[in-house]
Structure 1
């Protein structure tokens, strides 16, 4: 690897002052175009690289944004990350991505590392463990000179901007859609994650059925438990509609319903949460709630950039991304016609 040189060494080679080299590389109006070209060519030839740490210390800015994700196994979070990256790609900001694997301790360490002079702003979706502990002090204690924005998994106790999805309304509308299509006994499936978005979805389900005579039918657990419980519910409770709150629960409920031929025979309606590639290629294809992950990521990044550029100096605000129903085969028929 070619060895790099310092600013002073480059100035000595060119027989000019270090100040002239610095101004030329920063496109100063004080330096002629001929000198700028000469300095740039020499910098490239001798492998001069600016001391980024020194520049950051001088300006008080790092031109770097930290993104803290709880998982990259979640298709929705991956889509959100793509949205964030697509916005930052058009700026001078670098990006540091940290994955915490749903660990509170890893999240705390990641935030501590980032705020120690590495970034100007942080975008974060907190871990399941963090929400269980209800300890957000590592976020509340972040210095005011670092902008923080929470997305998807948020908590109102942290004073910062937030971008979230309308999970309550989305599930409420989805359940009402199942009822409109003829379902009268609708069950809810969840992989039992204690997350703010999952809890909002559960409340949306309960709100949608509260005026009906049906009692809530809630199945929470791992995939095997969900399959076993629905095997019983299909016989004992005559379930004719399912709303599944996450991808694991959606696929588990779909598998047992498909084994029983309920979807193929149009005896069951179902809406879940799953990536487009999965839901479209199932037979029959699965109707899903689209949270518009990439849009959420783009909105989050733009909102942070507005804070960093001081374009937005308003009080902390929450921005809502509205989900939409992608209707496919599992709800494209009417059951129990009058």
Structure 2
């Protein structure tokens, strides 16, 4: 019984892309690897898809996206929707893969897209994923790749849109300082890989502006496993850290949903916002303007990120090659009454 490309790749412990190249697709593999693929193909009666082979060297009008389409923290989903709208506006069919924390799963997703001969790939990733050797090799073989990451990764061979959050975090700390706050706090799950650097930016800016460290500057919380747990985890953290009187005068949550629950818990205790405790969230949830008081927040600049991704993709598809580009989008603090 004949087998398919995925199965022959699994037998040989190589990527589907390698199998594709062995049968004539553009790309580079060693002659030894090519020979092993051909021999295995004969043994297992594998026959390459000649229709797909005929597409090589031409565009397929397809783009693959690896992204947080279902995002617990409601930060990446609006960017994904904007990108989809833009790319489909160029008459591209889009393959969607939900971002997985395991880089090996991401590599399999990229391999799958390469086997489908996509014209380009877009991916959300963290720095450690973009430095993975296998991922780098796959990206080098792709026609065009644009990654969105919180910081630049010099080794990454594709284009990167740096989605910088530190500026906005420093702006929150600065706003707390100019409004006279002396004991601000940030509520975070410190076990999550990216969160210690968020707190570091907040803490360093506070210190630079003359706000001293104090024991409650970081309010560690448990990681929510489902969207329904986001608010509960914030509420639990407030109750655990402050079983009695509140001894901070500002709280910064890197998520608006969490900030809503913090505000509700404080108001249930009779704490006045912002007179007693200022509160800021992040992500600019549409409900923030309607909250009482309206929630200060952070603007992730969704449209700017999507615009840069679109520009880079269209440029690479029209004119492949050239040095990788780096573009930067800075998130910004939005001042509202909850933090005045």
TM-score by length of 1: 0.71
Measure, in 2, the Cα distance between the counterparts of 1:175 and 1:270. Answer: 11
2:323 matched residue in structure 1: 315
Distance 1:105 1:314, change over 3 A: closer
Measure, in 1, the Cα distance between the counterparts of 2:116 and 2:81. Answer: 25
Residues 79 and 297 of structure 1 are in contact (CA less than 8 Å); yes or no, is this contact kept in structure 2?
Answer: no
Matched, 1:287 2:324: no
Distance 1:220 1:189, change over 3 A: same
Measure, in 2, the Cα distance between the counterparts of 1:64 and 1:227. Answer: 44
Measure, in 2, the Cα distance between the counterparts of 1:254 and 1:193. Answer: 24
Q: CA deviation at 1:237?
A: 6.5
1:218 matched residue in structure 2: 218
Measure, in 2, the Cα distance between the counterparts of 1:199 and 1:293. Answer: 23
Bigger radius of gyration: 1
Distance 1:314 1:255, change over 3 A: farther
What is the number of residues matched between the two proteins? 276
2:202 matched residue in structure 1: 205
Q: CA deviation at 1:244?
A: 1.4
1:15 matched residue in structure 2: none
Deviations 1:163-183 (A, max 9, x none): 122211110111111111121
Q: Where does 1:106-125 land on structure 2 (aligned, <5 Å)?
A: 106-125=105-124
Residues 219 and 226 of structure 1 are in contact (CA less than 8 Å); yes or no, is this contact kept in structure 2?
Answer: no
Q: Which runs of 5+ in 1 are unaligned?
A: 1-50, 333-338
1:214 alignment partner, SS class: coil
Q: CA deviation at 1:190?
A: 1.3
Measure, in 2, the Cα distance between the counterparts of 1:111 and 1:145. Answer: 9
Q: CA deviation at 1:134?
A: 8.1
1:148 matched residue in structure 2: 145
Q: CA deviation at 1:101?
A: 4.8
Distance 1:259 1:106, change over 3 A: farther
2:145 alignment partner, SS class: strand
2:59 matched residue in structure 1: 61
Residues 171 and 205 of structure 1 are in contact (CA less than 8 Å); yes or no, is this contact kept in structure 2?
Answer: yes
Q: CA deviation at 1:135?
A: 6.3
User: Which of residues 235, 241, 245 is equivalent to 1:227?
Assistant: 235
Measure, in 2, the Cα distance between the counterparts of 1:92 and 1:264. Answer: 48
Q: CA deviation at 1:160?
A: 2.1
Q: CA deviation at 1:123?
A: 0.6
Residues 68 and 77 of structure 2 are in contact (CA less than 8 Å); yes or no, is this contact kept in structure 1?
Answer: no
1:141 alignment partner, SS class: helix
1:95 alignment partner, SS class: strand
Residues 273 and 279 of structure 2 are in contact (CA less than 8 Å); yes or no, is this contact kept in structure 1?
Answer: no
Residues 98 and 110 of structure 1 are in contact (CA less than 8 Å); yes or no, is this contact kept in structure 2?
Answer: yes
Q: Where does 1:81-96 land on structure 2 (aligned, <5 Å)?
A: 81-96=80-95
1:72 matched residue in structure 2: 70
Q: Where does 1:1-338 land on structure 2 (aligned, <5 Å)?
A: 53=52, 56-57=55-56, 59-73=57-71, 74-126=73-125, 131=128, 136-142=132-138, 143-153=140-150, 156=153, 157-192=155-190, 194-196=192-194, 198-211=195-208, 212-215=210-213, 217-222=217-222, 224=232, 226-231=234-239, 232-233=241-242, 235=244, 238-247=247-256, 249-264=258-273, 266-310=275-319, 314-332=322-340
1:335 matched residue in structure 2: none
Measure, in 2, the Cα distance between the counterparts of 1:107 and 1:258. Answer: 43
CA RMSD of the aligned region, Å? 3.0
Measure, in 2, the Cα distance between the counterparts of 1:299 and 1:200. Answer: 25
